[in-house]
């Protein structure tokens, strides 16, 4: 369960991670609930999906990874698509909608883990947009 941004440079390209940047968090695997994974586990398993080499990961899981993407955006609304995967294939997909103007979710996922991942993905997406806008302003020649 991702809780906060991970500030250590554990990944070469953190923007390529499924949630858009590295995260700290706690485990939700049976028998390891709320345990904090070491940085090595976070780097090699938790932040990537398909954590088959993780000793805490249950062998029979309903899904192994979740991917997100922004499929529509306006001034007030951002629509995310999510796909849950198992054995590198989709097993569930859907849309989640965030009202940017009101800073609230119009539709959310019933699984708190997936919803939290969506929130983290959206946070990273909005952060990248802010950084891109700021760098455009800085690098633009004066009029």
Give the tens place of pLDDT for each residue, 64-79: 999 999 999 998 999 9
Mean pLDDT of 125-142: 73
Give CA 140 to chain center in angstroms. Answer: 31
Task: Kindly state whether residue 79 falls inside one of the protein's structural domains.
Answer: yes
First to last CA, the chain: 47
Range of the structural domain that residue 12 is part of: 2-130
Task: Kindly state whether residue 57 falls inside one of the protein's structural domains.
Answer: yes
Q: Cα separation of 18 and 99, whole Å?
A: 22
Q: pLDDT at position 46, please?
A: 94
Task: Kindly state whether residue 115 falls inside one of the protein's structural domains.
Answer: yes
Name the domain count of the chain: 1
The DSSP bridge partners found for residue 89 are 86
Task: Kindly state whether residue 70 falls inside one of the protein's structural domains.
Answer: yes
Task: Kindly state whether residue 24 falls inside one of the protein's structural domains.
Answer: yes
Mean pLDDT of 132-140: 64
Rounded to two decimals, the pTM is: 0.89
31 Cβ partners below 8 Å, 6+ apart? 56
Helix (H, G, I), strand (E, B) or coil at 60: coil
Task: Kindly state whether residue 135 falls inside one of the protein's structural domains.
Answer: no
Q: pLDDT at position 143, please?
A: 58
Task: Kindly state whether residue 140 falls inside one of the protein's structural domains.
Answer: no
Task: Kindly state whether residue 103 falls inside one of the protein's structural domains.
Answer: yes
Q: pLDDT at position 132, please?
A: 76
| Nearest C-alpha neighbor of 120 from the set 40, 56, 47 | 47
Kindly report the number of other CB atoms within 10 A of residue 84's CB atom: 19
């Amino acid at each position: 369960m991702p809780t906060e941004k991970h500030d250590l440079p554990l990944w070469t390209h953190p923007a390529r991670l499924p949630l858009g940047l590295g995260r700290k968090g706690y485990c939700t695997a049976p028998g390891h609930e709320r345990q904090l994974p070491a940085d090595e586990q976070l780097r090699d398993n938790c932040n990537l999906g398909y954590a088959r080499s993780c000793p805490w990961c249950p062998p029979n899981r309903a899904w192994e990874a979740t991917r997100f993407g922004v499929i529509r955006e306006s001034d007030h609304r951002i629509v995310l698509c999510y796909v849950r995967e198992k054995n590198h294939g989709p097993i569930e997909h859907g849309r989640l909608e965030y009202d940017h103007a009101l800073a609230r979710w119009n539709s959310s996922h019933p699984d708190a883990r997936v919803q939290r991942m969506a929130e983290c993905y959206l946070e990273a997406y909005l952060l990248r947009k802010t950084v891109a806008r700021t760098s455009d302003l800085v690098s633009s020649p004066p009029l």
